[in-house]
Amino acid sequence: MNSIGEECTELKKKYDDCFNSWFSERFLKGDHDDSMCAGIFKVYQECVKKAMKQQSIDFKEVDKDVLGTDNEFKVPPSESSS
């Protein structure tokens, strides 16, 4: 799966590879220190935030809790009504 921004896809692949390696080789063997991939994650996260901003995606909307609330079943507003 590609990233939200084309320019972030290679970083996503690097992070996915790092995470999968950490998970299978360390986490499942009891080592829960996740700092191994922290550097690449931070770079990838910044790239995603920049891509979201370029696509006018509101960070607050992404972080909003919806599941388990009354808003879960509401139809999202259409773009023409924003």
Task: Kindly report, residue by residue over 51-68, the tens digit of the pLDDT.
Answer: 999 988 887 777 777 778
Mind listing the pLDDT tens digit for each residue in 28-39? 999 999 999 999
* Token output for 51: 């891509």
Cβ(18)–Cβ(37) below 8 Å: yes
C-alpha span between 9 and 77 (Å, rounded): 29
Helix axis angle, 38-54 to 9-25, nearest 10°: 150
The gap between the terminal CA atoms of the chain, to the nearest Å, is 30
Contact 4, 55 (CB under 8 A): yes
Mean pLDDT of the chain: 88
- Binned at pLDDT 50, 70 and 90, residue 25 comes out as very high
